[in-house]
Structure 1
Amino acid sequence: MKCVRLPLMSVADLLCVVRPAGLVKADALLDAIAERTNIRLSSLPHRGQLVLDDNLACPRLGSKVVSGELMEYLLDGDYYSYDMEKGYTRHGINGPGDHGIIVKLGQPSIINHIRMLLWDRDLRSYSYYIEVSMEQKDWIRVIDYSQYSCRSWQYLYFENRVVQYIRIVGTHNTVNKVFHLVSFEAICKLKIPKMVNDVICPNYNVATLDKSAVVIEGVSRSRNTLLNGDTKRYDWDSGYTCHQLGSGAILIQLGQPYIISSLRLLLWDCDDRSYSYYIESSINVWEWEMVVDNTRENCKSWQVIRFPPRPVVFIRIVGTHNTANEVFHCVHFECPSMEDVGTPASPKQKRLKENVEQEGQVQPTETATEAEEIPTEIDNSMQ
């Protein structure tokens, strides 16, 4: 009888079914009733199926959406053909008491990872939290990003939990009062990354398109040139992101908050110019914290910056000086840094050193200011 989890039975069953059977001692029965009464339901030793690396939030396993508008879209597996009119599940953001979007798994299951897609056809951001439950009576908050700005794909981890209901509640949308969710997956992973509270401490570059990062301010011929990982193909006309000194900045938004303690960037280095700049970070685009102040330094090529760990969503790079002209140019950005401080010179810098040894060399004309501005308009018509 030691294998029987008596506290999972209702008090009525313990008194009316188990007690008359005479198979359980009175003390064990009283202990089970006390545990059932005094401990949160979510803390009881629930049983759940363990399936590794498979999405449990799918109709073929009996999962369904039980709360929200346009419920038919969330678990259909289609995260490509969505627009302003269809392809997402939503709920109104009204404040405390919102029921949000609730997914019921086919049966109680052990999960520690959620992957979901926020509507991302423009540059809007969302804030939200996620709670889990077994019986929809006692909800445990496993993710709280209500103070962070998040966009597109979300990769969320927490300690193993047996759950049957998952509730996603949006708390903010930078465009309107509706929370839109395109796709949702619940998975159990064998290993989860290092976490601080419910925020990932990555050991890989999260400033990438695959991780939903985006450049939301800056000038370039292609919006996300800064994040495409190409550190070789750049020249006088393309391959960099820039801004006018004294006006604007280069602003990067990560897909979700991460605990970051380093970053690396490549300053344009096709000649012998140097730059000065400073970098700030934020979790909400309103409150900024200084990362590094190199406004009195002459900086060239690769820059590796290390600082005390902190949650980061936005990174703002502001150029303050260029020895060649009035434009600040950045070729590549990553965080955390994937290289040690002793990063070798870039291929362009190596060639430059060889070229400057040749007398009478003529450099091409600077054309950085001819780059096209990134469009930042946001359509406010989505409801």
Structure 2
Amino acid sequence: MANEEQPPKNMMTTTDSCKIYEDMSGFYRKEVFSDVNLILCDKTIPAHKIVLAIGCKYFESILIENPKQSEIILEDVPSKAFEAVLLYIYTGSVLVEMSYGDDLFDVIQLARKYSLKSLEDTLYEKTVSIMCPSNICLFLNKSNELQMDELKQICLLFIDSNLSKILGTNLLNVLTQKSMVQLLERDCFPAHETEIFEIAASWCGSNTDVNNLVSGCVKLTKLTIDELFNVVWPSKIIESERLLNALVSIRNNSTNTAHLINKNIAVAAYNAKVISGIKTLKLLEGTENEDEGARHDQNDVNGITLDLGLNRSFNHVKLKMLGIFYSSYYLETSFNQRKWYKLIDYSQYACSYEQNLYFDGVQQARYIRAVFSKLIPLGKFEVSFDSTVPEVHNHIIYPSSNVIYSETKIFMWEGRCDKFPLVLVLDQPYMISYMKVMLRFYKHVERIETSVDYRNWQTVESLTTETPKKSSRRQTFRFKERIVNVIKIMGDISSNKTSSNFKEFLADFRCYYVRNDGK
């Protein structure tokens, strides 16, 4: 009805539409025909035995035991919550303030006490529907207090899914110690150990950590020695003996795993296995056969995923792509398969053959996945901690030696042999600032261009229109550093010089990075 009064926006309602409720609703809190008083701590409410007995088994059992009693004393029952329950008994509707959830859980608790299962289930669903970062900690505390295990698990999953919105705030500081321990002690909690420590440290700064249960959730041995000294130790929330034991354990672990340096740990001997992808049987041992190469469906965001068996340290990943085609891709890592971190993003680059991926620092993860933009067979997936690594910035290698080698793909652009559009495809993007080229069978070279995607090209240097002398066939190009994936050489060649092996056109081609200072 248009003129019917609507509940406030911060209130929620639920209604059980039954004819008997329509008949009873007019007697709610009315003294007409009242035959029993409900005694609360701060008020007395007139009620009707027949309505109480029909609507609530709890009151039915009390009235059957003593049908003549005129008063029912309700001790330690919050008045506001009880009035909401009584309204439900009379009308099938309930009106509960839901801004922060205190009243809501008081009503849930009474619904459980009075065996009002339908009311409890309805309020449970409403609780889930109004979860948000500002109330989720209260809901988790209440679910523990009321031993609502299913709701507790939903609260934990909500925090996991919305952790990015919660980290950096003080919202988690209102959790009880029990709730905080439940949150942090799970192996599936999608946070790096440094983030777990920051959460624990913030909570300990606002609460008393009895028996160090919250700080004890931090797995110190998953942190680096630098993090222990520069982050954990200044906080003073970890006792010195435990901190010292963690340092000793990390040192001993480094000694015990020294034999893994420069070795591929993505093998069955170290309990690694492939857990997603297609035709992955030969991936860890390696194959050169395209038909045996691993791949994944284009819509599968899990791509090809490795489980290293436990959290491993590494600084090098090698992917061996099979076939003549190229693809862009990205790599992600995870500790628990719930939250993934972007490790390498080559989604803008045309990559092929062997990918040697190094990182600015030591990486740690249990799971690594490669997701390709095309259906490219992968012959091998290696992970290692190398004792020496090339210069790397933002996941791009600055090569100090030539990246053109015998396996480099070379072809003629659009088959135009008259203008000599010779194309060299690097396996992966490199930062390049120096080229040295020596060509056979040519009359004139117009220019050299570079690209990362076959679409956008940059000129390296414009050459003279005069035919070079034989003694000057070797050309050197020094230019401002740029990311290079594909190189195209344009020019004229002798009309009688043709070959299906385009590598014959190159007498020598060197391509690498030289600093501006020449070093």
Normalised TM-score (structure 1):
0.63
Q: Which has the higher contact order (CA 8 A, sep 6+)?
A: 1
Show the counterpart of 2:366.
Answer: 164
- Superposed CA deviations along residues 150-170 of structure 1, whole A, max 9, x for unmatched, are 111111111211211001111
Q: Confirm or deny that 1:12 pairs with 2:213.
A: no
1:91 alignment partner in structure 2: 296
The letter for the 1-side match of 2:283 is L
Query: Aligned AA for 1:12?
Result: Q
Contact 1:265 1:330 in 2 (8 A): no
Alpha-carbon distance, 1:93 to partner: 1.4
Deviation at 1:33, TM superposition (A): 8.2
Give the match for residue 336 of structure 1. 511
**Equivalence for 1:141:** 342
Per the alignment, residue 428 of structure 2 pairs with 256
| Residue correspondence of structure 1 range 223-372 to structure 2 within 5 A | 244-246=417-419, 249-268=421-440, 275-299=444-468, 300-320=472-492, 330-336=505-511
Give 2:405's aligned residue: 208
Tell me the C-alpha RMSD between the 2 structures: 3.6
8 Å Cα contact 1:193/1:202 also seen in 2: yes
Q: For 2:301, what is the secondary structure of its paired residue?
A: coil
Greater share of residues in strand: 1
Give the Cα–Cα distance (whole angstroms) in 2 for the partners of residues 100 and 72 of structure 1. 15
Q: Match of 1:194?
A: 391
State how many pairs are aligned: 274
By how many angstroms is 1:204 displaced?
Answer: 0.9
Question: Is the contact between residue 133 and residue 165 of structure 1 (CA under 8 Å) also seen in structure 2?
Answer: yes
CA distance in 2, matches of 1:334, 1:31: 60
SS at match of 2:281: helix
CA distance in 2, matches of 1:267, 1:28: 75
Matched residue of 1:11: which SS? helix
Closer, same or farther: CA 140–266 of 1 in aligned 2, 3 Å? same
Determine the structure 1 residue equivalent to 2:273.
64
Tell me the distance in 2 between the aligned counterparts of 1:92 and 1:130.
16
> Shift in Å at residue 297 of structure 1?
4.6
Cα distance in structure 2, aligned partners of 1:15 and 1:251: 55
Task: Answer whether contact 1:283 1:314 (CA < 8 A) is retained.
Answer: yes
Q: Give 3-state SS (helix, strand or coil) of 2:319's partner.
A: strand
Aligned counterpart, 2:104 = none
Q: Contact 2:290/2:377 (CA < 8 Å) preserved in 1?
A: no
Letter in 2 for 1:143: I
User: AA paired with 1:257?
Assistant: P
Contact 2:321–2:352 (CA<8 Å) still a contact in 1? yes
Distance 1:337 1:65, change over 3 A: closer
Query: For residues 333 and 268 of structure 1, what CA distance do their matches in structure 2 show?
Result: 9
The structure with the larger Rg is 2
Q: CA deviation at 1:218?
A: 6.7
CA distance in 1, matches of 2:310, 2:218: 24
Q: Could you tell me how far 1:54 is from its partner in structure 2?
A: 0.5
Partner of 1:26: 209
**Where does structure 2 lack aligned partners over 5 or more consecutive residues?**
1-179, 187-207, 220-226, 229-245, 499-503, 515-519
In the alignment, what sits opposite 1:105?
308
8 Å CA contact 2:354–2:427 kept in 1: the answer is yes
Deviations 1:216-271 (A, max 9, x none): 2279xxxxxxxxxxxxxxxxxxxxxx96444x5111101111111111111338xx
Aligned to 1:119: 322
SS in structure 2 at match of 1:110? strand
Corresponding residue for residue 362 of structure 1: none
- 2:71 maps to none
Q: Report the alpha carbon displacement of residue 106 of structure 1 after superposing the two structures with TM.
A: 2.4
Q: 1:61 to 1:53 in 2, by over 3 A?
A: same
CA contact (8 A) 1:282 1:314 kept: yes
Write out aligned runs for 1:367-382 (5 A).
none
Question: Residues 132 and 167 of structure 1 are in contact (CA less than 8 Å); yes or no, is this contact kept in structure 2?
Answer: yes
The residue type equivalent to 2:457 in the other structure is W
Determine the structure 2 residue equivalent to 1:22: none
1:54/1:293 Cα in 2 relative to 1: closer, same or farther (>3 Å)?
A: same
SS in 2 for 1:12: helix
Summarize deviations over 1:297-338 as a string: whole Å, max 9, x none: 543311011111111111000015x6x768799433433269
Q: CA deviation at 1:34?
A: 10
Q: Is the 8 A contact 2:427 2:485 kept in 1?
A: yes
Q: Aligned equivalents of 1:28 and 1:258: distance in 2?
A: 53
One-letter amino acid of the counterpart of residue 165, structure 1 = Y
Q: Which runs of 5+ in 1 are unaligned?
A: 1-9, 17-24, 37-43, 220-241, 340-383
SS in 2 for 1:73: coil
Give yes or no for contact 2:437–2:474 (8 Å, CA) kept in 1.
Answer: yes
Letter of the 2:477 counterpart:
I
C-alpha separation between the residues in 1 aligned to 2:431 and 2:211? 46
**Percent identity of paired positions between Structure 1 and Structure 2:** 27
